[in-house]
Amino acid sequence: MARERVTVVDIARAAGVSKSTVSLVLQGSSLVNEATRAKVNAAIRELGYVYNRGAANLRQSKSKIIGIVVNDLTNSFFAELAVGVDAVVQSAGFVQFLANTGEKSERQREVIASMREHGVSGLIISPARGTEVSDLAPLVASGIPVVLVVRDIADAGVSSLISDNHAGAMAAVRHLIERGHRRIAFLGGFPDTAVFEARMRGFRDALREAGMPAVDELVIGSAPSRAGGVTAIEQAMMLKERPTAALCFNDAVAFGVCDGLRARRLEPGADFAVIGFDDVIEAKTAVPALTTVSVDPQGMGERAAELLLKQIMAGRAEPEAIVSPVRLVVRQSCGGTVERRVKEISS
Amino acid sequence: MARERVTVVDIARAAGVSKSTVSLVLQGSSLVNEATRAKVNAAIRELGYVYNRGAANLRQSKSKIIGIVVNDLTNSFFAELAVGVDAVVQSAGFVQFLANTGEKSERQREVIASMREHGVSGLIISPARGTEVSDLAPLVASGIPVVLVVRDIADAGVSSLISDNHAGAMAAVRHLIERGHRRIAFLGGFPDTAVFEARMRGFRDALREAGMPAVDELVIGSAPSRAGGVTAIEQAMMLKERPTAALCFNDAVAFGVCDGLRARRLEPGADFAVIGFDDVIEAKTAVPALTTVSVDPQGMGERAAELLLKQIMAGRAEPEAIVSPVRLVVRQSCGGTVERRVKEISS
DNA sequence: CGAATAATTTAGATCGATCCAAAATGCAAG
DNA sequence: CTTGCATTTTGGATCGATCTAAATTATTCG
C-alpha cells in the first residue's frame, strides 16, 4: 500500500484539465462547466484522492482548526463541555484539537504554543488553576480569537463565558432555608479559585438575606472531586453542632457527600439535604436523584463554540463577557418529594 | 495587533543570516556555530516568531498529529482513555485531534476523512457500534497506522488493543460463586456488541464450570449507562426467583444497579452483591466501593498511544492484536469485608 | 460572418518551511 | 602562504494547494 500521494496535478492529468480547474472544482466554484466538473470528480474518486488541507492552509493562511484546552477531562463536566464544543465545531466544518492540562499551567503553556504552531484559528480555554493574565498575553497579542469558559480571568482582554455562580448558589441556599434548614454547610472546592469565591459569596449572601449568621466552620474546602466530598462531609460531621444540609461546590463533591453520609448510615435526602452544582448527566439518574444548580455543560460548550466561531468569522470582534443563566433543578437529594420541579432563576 | 506573520525570512534578515541557517537552528542541528545560533534565537524571541508547522509538514510530508476518535466521550471510561492517550502523545511532541462520534458511524466516517485531510500520522479509534470492515477499508488501504481500542473489528487488518473481557467476567463470577451465590444475573449492555458477547461468554463459562445452569431470564440487556442499570435491576427484581448477585456490563450499569437497589430499600453489598467492569475512577470512592474488573482505561489509552507511536516510527509494522490483562478488584459492593484484596488474573 | 460579450480554462507566482548540492570560511600542516 | 580538510553557511528547488490575470472557447446578435 502506502503508494505515492495523489495530488491535484495527478487528478488534473487524469481528467485532462489543468490543476487550476481541479482546484476550482474542489472549492465548488460555479465557474466550472458541469461536464468538466463531472470528469474531475470521477478522477478524484478513481484515484482515491485525499485533499491536503495543510497545503491549502499554507496558501490561504487560515485553517479550519479550533483548539480546546481543558483543565481536567476526567471530570465529566469538562468532558461534556468538550462534547458540546465538538458538536458545533464539527458541523461548521472545523475539527478540534483537544488537550488536557490536568491543572498544570506549565503544560497549558506548552499546549497553547503547540496549537498556535499548528495554526488554529481560535481557542476555547478552560484555564488551569492559577492561570495569570501574563500566561495568556502572547496569545491575545497575536490577535487570534479566544474564548475563556467556566473560569474567567480578569483583564485578559478576551471573551468569556461563565455561569452565574453567585445567583445559582443563592437560589440553592434560599431553597434550603425555605425547607426549614438552619445549619447549612458549604462543602468542597479549592478556596483560591474564582468559581469557589463566587459560589461561596452566593451562599453567604443568601444566609445574610435570611438574617442567618455565616458560620466559618461550616465552609469546608476540599478537592473538587468525589473523594474530596467524602472528606469534606466527614469533617463537617465531626463538629459539635452538625449541619443538616449542604450546598456542594459541584456535583462530584455532592456525590462524595452522599457516599460519606451513607457510610455513617445517614440517607441523603431523608436525613440530610444535599445540593450539587453543574447538573452532570448522572445527577438525574443517581439515587437519590441529585438536586443541583444546572449549568448545562454541553450547552455551555455549544455556546462557547458559537461565540468563538462568530469571532472567527467576524475577523475582529469586541471581547464579550457572557454570564450564562443557571437554574435550580429540585430532585430528591434535598428532601424534596416533588420530582422535576424546576425553579427558574436567571440574570 | 494581528500584524503580519513573521517568517523564517524575517528572522534571517534580522539576524543577518540566510533562511537555511535559521531552519537549521529551528531543527536544533549541530552544524551551526554557537554564536550564530545565539543570534538567531535572539531574533526569534525579539520578533515573536511562531513556527509554522503546516508549512514544514508540507515539505516533509509527515505531521506530528495523531487522531483519536471515540464513540462516547460523556462516558468517563472513554474520557479517561483519551486522557491516557493525550499524556503519552503530548510527551512525544505530538498533538491529538479528538473527535466524538456519539456511536454514529456516519459521523465516524466524516471525522476519519477530515483527519486524513489534515494529515494525521496515525489514528486511535474506539469504533462506533456497528462499524464494519468496509468503513475502515479506505483508511487501512492508505497505509496510515491505526490502532483499534476497546472494540475490535475482525479482519480489519489493523492493530487492536482490547481487554480480556472473557477472563475478567469469569473471574468475577467465580468470586461470586465462592461467596455462595447461586442465582447470579448478568445486567446491562447492548447484546449485539462484541464486548457484550465476550463478557457474557465469560459469565456463562464460569457458571458451567461450577456446574450451575445458565438461566436465560437472568441475562438482561440495557443501555450501557447508569439509567440502563436502573431499568435492568428493576426488571431482574420482577422475576419470581430473584437473583442475589449480579455481574454488570460496566461500572456505569453497576452504579445504576446500586441506585435501583436502594430505591427498593436494599443495600448493595449487604443485601445484594454487585460487580462492575472497567474500574473508572469513581469506583474506588463510591459507597459502597465498587468491586469491579479493572480495565484501567487511562493505562489502556497510554498503551494504545505507545503502540501507535511505535508503528509510526517503524514506518510499516505488522498489525498486532493485543489482549490486555485485567484484574478483579474486590471492594465492598460484593459483600466483601476484605478491603483492597486483589486477585490477579491474566492471560 | 465577424465583432462583442459571456463562459471556461489555464499558466505561473505564491504561501513558509525543508533539503540538497555547492560555496564560503576556518584552521592546521607543509 | 598555499593546499587540504573540516566546519559553517547559503541559493534555489520543492512540497500541494490557491489565486490572479490573462488566454481560450462558446454564444449572441447586428
Q: What is the pLDDT of residues B45-63, one digit of tens each?
A: 999 999 999 999 999 989 9
> Under an 8 A CB cutoff, do A76 and B80 touch?
no
Same structural domain, A176 and A262: yes
What's the rounded Cα separation, in Å, for the pair A282 and B316? 43
Nearest to A99 among B61, B86, B284 (CB): B86
Asked whether the beta carbons of A156 and A147 are under 8 A apart, the reply is: no
What's the rounded Cα separation, in Å, for the pair A307 and A44? 36
Cβ-Cβ contacts under 8 Å for A4 (sequence gap 6 or more): none
> Under an 8 A CB cutoff, do B86 and A74 touch?
no
Closest CA to B298 of B283, B317, B318: B283
Band (pLDDT 50/70/90 cuts) for residue B214 is confident
Cα torsion angle, A35, A40, A44, A47, sign: positive
> Is B3 inside any structural domain?
no
Band (pLDDT 50/70/90 cuts) for residue B245 is very high
> Is A311 inside any structural domain?
yes
**C-alpha cell belonging to residue A34:** 458541469
Minimum CA–CA partner of B61 in chain A = A5
> Is A339 inside any structural domain?
yes
Which bases along strand D come within 7 Å of a protein CB atom?
A: 7-12, 14-21
The reported pLDDT for the residue numbered B84 is 97
Beta bridge partner(s), residue B322: B161
Asked whether the beta carbons of A24 and A11 are under 8 A apart, the reply is: no
How many A×B Cβ pairs under 8 Å?
166
Of the residues B285, B290, B316, the best mutation for testing chain A's interface (the one with the most A CB atoms within 10 Å of its CB) is: B285
> Is B270 inside any structural domain?
yes
Band (pLDDT 50/70/90 cuts) for residue B317 is confident
The reported pLDDT for the residue numbered A3 is 56
Asked whether the beta carbons of B242 and B213 are under 8 A apart, the reply is: no
> What's the Å distance between residue A312 CA and nucleotide C12 C1'?
32
- Work out if B9's Cβ lies within 7 angstroms of strand C: yes
Nearest to A1 among B2, B142, B263 (CB): B142
Asked whether the beta carbons of A185 and A219 are under 8 A apart, the reply is: yes
Q: Provide the number of structural domains found in chain B.
A: 3
> Is A17 inside any structural domain?
yes
Q: What is the pLDDT of residues B32-49, one digit of tens each?
A: 999 999 999 999 999 999
- Which of residues 33-92 of A have CB within 7 Å of strand C? 33-36, 55, 58-59, 61
The reported pLDDT for the residue numbered A345 is 39
CA dihedral B107, B108, B114, B120 (to 10 degrees): 160
The reported pLDDT for the residue numbered B315 is 77
Same structural domain, A112 and A25: no
**C-alpha cell belonging to residue B22:** 535559521
Q: What is the pLDDT of residues A276-323, one digit of tens each?
A: 999 988 898 787 899 999 999 999 999 999 999 999 998 777 899 999
Which bases along strand C come within 7 Å of a protein CB atom?
A: 7-12, 14-21
Distance of CA A271 to the CA centre of its chain: 33
What letter does residue A218 receive in the DSSP assignment?
G
- Which of residues 254-293 of B have CB within 7 Å of strand C? none
- Which of residues 49-108 of A have CB within 7 Å of strand D? 49-52, 55-56, 58-60
Angle at B266 between CA B262 and CA B268, to 5 degrees: 80
> Under an 8 A CB cutoff, do A2 and B316 touch?
yes
Same structural domain, B155 and B302: yes
CA–CA distances in Å: residue A105 to residues A82, A114, A116, A135, B76: 19, 14, 16, 8, 23
Band (pLDDT 50/70/90 cuts) for residue B2 is very low
CA–CA distances in Å: residue A57 to residues A61, A99, B54: 5, 22, 8
Which domain, by its residues, includes A18?
Answer: 8-51
Q: Which residues of B touch A281 (CB under 8 A)?
A: 74, 226
- Which of residues 60-119 of B have CB within 7 Å of strand D? 61
The reported pLDDT for the residue numbered A342 is 39
**Average pLDDT, stretch A315-334?**
91
What's the rounded Cα separation, in Å, for the pair A298 and B276? 27
> Is A2 inside any structural domain?
no
Domain holding B68: CATH number?
3.40.50.2300
What's the rounded Cα separation, in Å, for the pair B347 and B343? 13
Same structural domain, B145 and B227: no
Q: Which residues of B touch A111 (CB under 8 A)?
A: 90, 95
Same structural domain, A193 and A301: no
The reported pLDDT for the residue numbered B281 is 83
The reported pLDDT for the residue numbered B262 is 87
Q: What is the pLDDT of residues B320-341, one digit of tens each?
A: 999 999 999 999 999 854 333 3
Q: What is the pLDDT of residues A111-146, one digit of tens each?
A: 999 999 999 999 999 999 999 999 999 999 999 999
Q: What is the pLDDT of residues A49-98, one digit of tens each?
A: 999 999 999 999 899 999 999 999 988 899 999 999 999 999 999 999 99
Band (pLDDT 50/70/90 cuts) for residue B284 is confident
> Is A119 inside any structural domain?
yes
Rounded to 5 degrees, φ, ψ at B200 are: -70, -40
